[in-house]
Structure 1
């Protein structure tokens, strides 16, 4: 579908305005919505291209700036050591309550939009995969995709580095789609095994895929990008969201 991709809204949160980028089908109608969480580098060009692909499949996509409390609206971090250090430092400066308030603000925004049909999904990459997992605690979320969710097995997200994400697994009422790279040093085999065991113990509805890929294999920039894996996984993502959120390319 033809999309619009230059819009944004500044959403109210307990910690100030959160710049949230909106990409959506250009054709009039009501559509399902997807909250897309970025990596620690914020809304970079690869993240915008991922959002554009989702929007082109018939979804309203909202991409919040995850560190809006700490940096000016629109700022992104470079894909280098300095950018990584900045993003990782802020990852454990921001509070868990702040992350959760952000997801709630986007869900509420979707529900208020006249062009949204009320069916909501979430997708996240890297730290965004962990944030997507937590966003799935919102009862309106029907389906969630997590790409190599960092720190989930260690429970070290947020200020204090002691999150309750896996503890709250039973709060997830929708379906999960978990994707991992077997050559990802950030989430070891032991970590993946622990996460899977917890999800199985909770009876979570989920699909679980491990591929021979490195961390950031989805990102279409840098030496770890694997186009074949990225394209095949994204096709599964499109199928998952169409199944969970229904076709949305016509008025309801």
Structure 2
């Protein structure tokens, strides 16, 4: 399916600077389920743009927010180098968790009301974005979430003060959720993955769980850790989840 990938909106966020939301959607008339895609710490890089385009081409209206809009000028993309990594990680622990949550609420509301969106919603994300996709899915309007190597959930260290409540709030999760992890990822060790899964079981969450032999960022199609075969496997699982939950009646 041919898509449009040249649109963005600067949407209001209460108590904050406007947030730029980049839109990727089918270039045909119609209304499509909405997917809020949260990036890594680098914002809308080439790999994230290509990922959003791929999802949109399957028949979804995809929004990608600039997660550090309070701290960086609109359109800023951090590089995949040491300086970009240091800046992205510093901002991850500077921005309050409540501000991440406010961004998600505003982005979901905008996407749901967009003329190209059917009103059905899902979230997805990688790394920092995997954690943000999970938190956004605590919103009851979200039917499904795909969280790829989500950092900091197990340690409770997202945001200013490094004291998030993501595990504590897991009982609020109503969305059907897909978690995908790399077993060789040093950012989410075995004990951390086990803590997250134990909590999912404790609250009776509806979830899928996949651990693959890969390092962190194995879905990023730049750099030495990219695994194209596992990319296709992960995307197939996510798209099956979205097809089942977003295209179903009701």
Q: Who is 2:10 aligned against? A: 10
The Cα shift of 1:115 comes to 2.0
Look up the SS of the partner of 1:177 in the other structure: strand
The Cα shift of 1:247 comes to 7.3
Aligned-partner Cα distance in 2 for 1:220–1:24: 21
The Cα shift of 1:111 comes to 2.3
Aligned-partner Cα distance in 1 for 2:212–2:247: 27
**1:63-83 superposed Cα distances (whole Å, 9 cap, x missing partner):** 000000000000011101111
**1:10-50 superposed Cα distances (whole Å, 9 cap, x missing partner):** 11012111011000001101110000000000110000000
Q: Who is 2:92 aligned against? A: 91
Q: Who is 1:63 aligned against? A: 64
The Cα shift of 1:237 comes to 1.2
Root-mean-square deviation over aligned CA pairs: 1.0
- Give structure 1 regions of 4+ aligned residues with deviation exceeding 4 angstroms: none
Q: Which has the higher contact order (CA 8 A, sep 6+)?
A: 1
Aligned-partner Cα distance in 2 for 1:23–1:195: 31
Q: Which runs of 5+ in 1 are unaligned?
A: none
The Cα shift of 1:110 comes to 1.8
Q: Who is 2:106 aligned against? A: 105
Aligned-partner Cα distance in 2 for 1:111–1:46: 25
Q: Who is 1:117 aligned against? A: 118
Matched, 1:242 2:243: yes
Q: Who is 2:172 aligned against? A: 171
The Cα shift of 1:174 comes to 1.1
Look up the SS of the partner of 1:180 in the other structure: strand
| Alignment of structure 1 residues 77-226 onto 2, 5 Å | 77-226=78-227
8 Å CA contact 1:58–1:247 kept in 2: the answer is: no
What TM-score does the superposition give when structure 1 sets the normalisation length? 0.97
Aligned-partner Cα distance in 2 for 1:216–1:182: 12
Q: Which runs of 5+ in 2 are unaligned?
A: none
